[in-house]
Each structure stands twice: as structure tokens, then as C-alpha cells.
Amino acid sequence: MQRIAVVVGTRPEAIKLAPVIQKLEGQSGLQPLVCNTGQHDQLCGETLAWFGLNADVKLDVMRPNQGLAALQSRLLTGLDTFLAASSPDGLLVQGDTMSAFCGALAAFYRRLPVFHVEAGLRSYHLGEPFPEEALRQMLARIAALHFAPTTAAQQALLAEHIPPDNIHVTGNTVIDALNCLTDTALAEARQRLEARVDLTLPLVLVTVHRRENHGPRLEQILRAVDTLSRLYPACRFILPVHPNPNVKQAVHAALSGRDTIILTEPLSYPELVCVMQNAVLALSDSGGIQEEAPSFGLPVLVLRYETERREGLELGLARLVGADYEMIVREACSILQSPSKISTHFFNPYGDGKAAERIVTLIEYYTRYGATEQ
């Protein structure tokens, strides 16, 4: 039995790693050991629970308004202690969070193989997204296996001289997570949402949280949302407010008290998917929204100046608008004047729902033979 440590700290990580953890639990030769770092404290645990999963270990790393250096220090120390106590045979991380990077670094220091889900995403702009672009580039230098979601991610890794045999195009596990949703779960989510918003009206989903958007950029984004809500009073703008105080305070100060803007606590995963199913537009700086939206034919205005998920841009599924007030309003108006779903909504360029199965098969082969089958 090979023990695979799985580090998860944020809600997106919980969503994207849950299908992999489920597959690991069903693989007779592998045993997952899940460590919730607590980077998104309650959100991460609640999301894992929705998938029927619980962390074996939970760290306590978050402090009010702590800086990145303090967070990294606590994560690295806590994760090293976790690895020392659990003695795994390898470590699995996802994406580009501080939890993922520190987990990989702690494993590297202990000479454990690192398996990186969603490897190879690149903007090649160290400030966009910040600090994630730097974290994932550094993580790539120490990973043993790179699970690239797309061929573009694979090509980025090859250009950085990652050995070809260590790179595998698997698709993105976020599509696997969507396939985990049952009709019952979605029906219950819809019922909860209907108590807060009329789902028969045109919905606009707004999510904003990225660190590089804090401050003046966020003010421009929120001003654009306010303007759009006044221009389109028949629409309902639903904004799940991120718990980060730098976001939460700004959002409530700018948008509270508007009849057409619904500010909510973070939505459960089924609730968020239900909103995407019913929305006509998403304004978001989230990578996950960019990946999930094509499954619902939902156009996305990306509130970032760079995106490492260019497949959506190339297919016309998303547009980059940054935090530019005028561009956000102009592009949103072009969609809201005659809102409709994108006709290609049955095609998602980010995955086919079988990524977790491929990933676990590759890990199992690696732990047996020290290499992967091509």
C-alpha cells in the first residue's frame, strides 16, 4: 500500500482534487492522506464534505491580514511536520496556491516525489496573477510528474525543458468535479437559491478575489458592476463575497443596498454551479469559472489583464477586460443587450471528465516502477 499525501488548502483546490482523492480511495494499491492547510479554512472543509471527504489532518496557518512571507513560513513548517508524522510515499498538489507550493517544497526537502495536478499554466507575467505565476513556475522545477490540463500547458512545460516523459495531458479535474453533481444536489441548491434570487430573471454572476485586483482595481470593477446594475434593472447581479477583508469591506461599501445586486456569503459548490447554469454572463477573475463556464455556454468577461487559460479566448468563450471600467461596461453591454447562451456550450476545451482516472493510473504506475507508462 503506497501512501499519497494530498495537500489542499483553498476551495478551488478542494473542488479540483476531490475527484482525484475519490479515485485514490478506490485504488487498492494507494491510500490518500489528506491535509487541509486551512488557507481557506471553513470553505475548504465544507467543499471537501460535499464530496463526502474529510481531511486526515488540518493545520492552523491563517492569521488576520498576514503577509505572504508569514503565510509561507507557517505553511512550510506545518506541512513538514505533517510529512514527518505521516511518512508518505509521494505528495499530490494542485495548481498554484501557496499551499500547493509549500507542500511541494516540503516534500522536495524530504526527497519525496511531487505529483502536480494542473501543471503548465503560464501567463509569463510575474504580476498577473500574483503571486501564483511565480509559485507554479517554481513548483515545476521540483515536480516528478506534471499533469497538464491541455496541450498548451504541455507545450509550455516542454519549452521550459521539463523531460517529456514526465508530462502527461490529462484534462482538467474541474470537469470531473462537475460530473460528480447529482440532479438531487442541483435541485436542492436551486431551492436554496430561489429563496434569495428570482432565477427566472437574467442573472449575472460576479466573482472577484485575486490579490492583484485588491485596491484601486477592485474599486473600478465594483463601479462597473454598479453602473451595469443601473443600466439593466431587469437583471440580477449575484456576487458571492470572498471572506478576505480586503475584498469583503470594499464590496459591501460599494454595492450594499442595491435592489438588483445580491451580495451573498460564499456559495456552496452546487449553488455556484446552479448559478452558472442559469446565468447569461459571468464577470470573474477566477480561473475555475473560466474553465467551468464553457460547459454551460456561459460567456465570461475575465477581470484580469492576463490569463493562462487562453483556450477560452481563442474559441470566443471568454474576453479579457481587466479592471478597466469602460471596457467592462462596454463588453458587458454588448452581451446583456441580447443575452443568450453560447451555441458551442456542449464543448469544453479544458477536459472531458476523465482526468482524475488518468492521474491516479499514472501515479499508481509511478509508485510501482518509478516511471510512468507512455
DSSP string, 283-328: EE--HHHHHHGGGGT--EEE-SS--S-HHHHHTTSEEE-TT-HHHH
CA R_g for the chain = 20
User: Is 216:292 a contact under the CB 8 Å cutoff?
Assistant: no
Which grid coordinates belong to 116?
A: 502536480
Q: Please provide the CATH number assigned to the domain covering 183-336.
A: 3.40.50.2000
Q: Residue 346: what pLDDT?
A: 60
Residues with catalytic roles: 96, 118, 132, 209, 211, 242
Q: Which 8-state DSSP code applies to residue 258?
A: -
Closest CA to 288 of 265, 322, 312, 305: 312
Residue 301 phi, psi dihedral angles, 5° rounding = -100, 115
| Percent of the chain that is helix, strand, coil (3-state, to 5) | 50, 15, 35
Q: Residue 369: what pLDDT?
A: 87
CA-to-CA distance for 238 and 246, rounded, in angstroms?
19
Q: Do domains 2-171+354-369 and 183-336 have the same CATH topology?
A: yes
CA-to-CA distance for 98 and 93, rounded, in angstroms?
11
User: Is 204:231 a contact under the CB 8 Å cutoff?
Assistant: no
User: Is 30:1 a contact under the CB 8 Å cutoff?
Assistant: yes
User: Is 359:170 a contact under the CB 8 Å cutoff?
Assistant: yes
Q: Residue 28: what pLDDT?
A: 81
CA-to-CA distance for 251 and 239, rounded, in angstroms?
9
SS (H, E, C) 100-148: HHHHHHHHHHCCCCEEEECCCCCCCCCCCCCCHHHHHHHHHCCCCEEEE
DSSP string, 9-34: -SHHHHHHHHHHHHHHHT-TTEEEEE
Mean pLDDT of each 10-residue bin along the chain, 374 residues long: 96 96 92 94 86 94 91 97 98 97 98 98 95 97 98 98 97 96 92 93 96 96 98 96 92 95 94 95 96 94 96 93 98 89 71 96 92 54
Q: Give the three-state DSSP class for 47.
A: helix
Sequence-ordered list of residues with C-beta below 8 angstroms from that of 215, at least 6 positions apart, any chain: 246
Give 92's strand partners: 6, 115
Q: Residue 371: what pLDDT?
A: 65
Q: Residue 374: what pLDDT?
A: 44
Q: Please provide the CATH number assigned to the domain covering 2-171+354-369.
A: 3.40.50.2000
Domains of the chain, residue spans: 2-171+354-369, 183-336
CA-to-CA distance for 319 and 322, rounded, in angstroms?
9
Which grid coordinates belong to 51?
A: 464530496
Other residues' Cβ atoms within 10 Å of the Cβ of residue 5: 27
User: Is 66:37 a contact under the CB 8 Å cutoff?
Assistant: no
Within 13 A of 309's CA, how many CA atoms are on the CB side? Answer: 31
Which grid coordinates belong to 254?
A: 460599494
No. of helices (H) and no. of strands (E), the chain? 15, 13
Q: Give the three-state DSSP class for 87.
A: coil
Sequence-ordered list of residues with C-beta below 8 angstroms from that of 347, at least 6 positions apart, any chain: 294
Closest CA to 8 of 61, 55, 52, 77: 55
Q: Residue 342: what pLDDT?
A: 63
Q: What is the pTM of this model?
A: 0.93
User: Is 281:204 a contact under the CB 8 Å cutoff?
Assistant: yes
Which grid coordinates belong to 339?
A: 443575452
